[in-house]
Amino acid sequence: MDGFLSDRNAEAAVISVLDDHMALVGAVREMGPAICRAAALVLEALAAGGKVLLCGNGGSAADAQHIAGELVGRFLKERRPLPALALHANTSVLTAIGNDYGFEEVFARQVSAHGRAGDVLVAISTSGNSPNILRAAAIASRNGLKVIGMTGVGGRLKDLCDLCLCVPSDSTPRIQEMHILFGHIIAQLVEEALCLSRP
């Protein structure tokens, strides 16, 4: 094992991953206007006294929780805490819903409980086809929430969103790297707008 990590094959693997990442960053540059629209939807909800709900599975759950943390805490500037909730983080609620209603309902039921018209749901799925994410997006739309999707090539989720940020890749790690980049940019734009509007 140590031999592999110290030889040129490992270095070549690292360079290959970095090259793939940088190529994908270049490809998503054209998504700048869409990312700005996503930030505007979040800002509009927050300015109206609403909240941001986020959901994802696995690595996408980690991204959802990360983005929620940037909003509730801070990103780069001192400002008021912003209401954001990662729907997987309460394990008692998650397992109770999963046990009683099935895993497909673990996010949708929480959207029904916490979401109000004018709020935003950020639904993250690299495939765009996770049944519990699709169900949450459908319920959010029905209840008057705006839905921002983050996917790979899109899957079925893109048809359930007000705005879908579709990464042009089928590589789960690379897609997830772009999703957290999108989350950071949205947090920065929202934070800067709030700080500029502060008297």
- Could you tell me the pTM of the whole model? 0.94
Number of domains in the chain: 1
Distance of alpha carbon 191 from alpha carbon 186, whole angstroms: 8
3 falls in which pLDDT band (50, 70, 90)? Answer: low
Statement: residue 198 has pLDDT above 70: no
Residue 186 within a domain: yes
Residue 24 within a domain: no
Calculate the average pLDDT of the chain: 95
On the CB side of 188, CA atoms within 13 Å amount to 9
Distance of alpha carbon 107 from alpha carbon 90, whole angstroms: 11
Residue 19 within a domain: no
Q: Give me the residue label for tokens 């008057």.
A: 144
Higher pLDDT, 100 or 7: 100
On the CB side of 174, CA atoms within 13 Å amount to 21
Distance of alpha carbon 16 from alpha carbon 8, whole angstroms: 12
Residue 172 within a domain: yes
Residue 167, C-beta contacts closer than 8 angstroms, at least 6 positions apart: 24, 28, 150, 151, 152, 153, 174, 175, 178, 179
CATH code, 172: 3.40.50.10490
The per-residue pLDDT for 101 is 98
Mind listing the pLDDT tens digit for each residue in 22-38? 999 999 999 999 999 99
Q: Give me the residue label for tokens 């996010």.
A: 107
Residue 190 within a domain: yes
Residue 17 within a domain: no
Mind listing the pLDDT tens digit for each residue in 156-190? 999 999 999 999 999 999 999 999 999 999 999 99
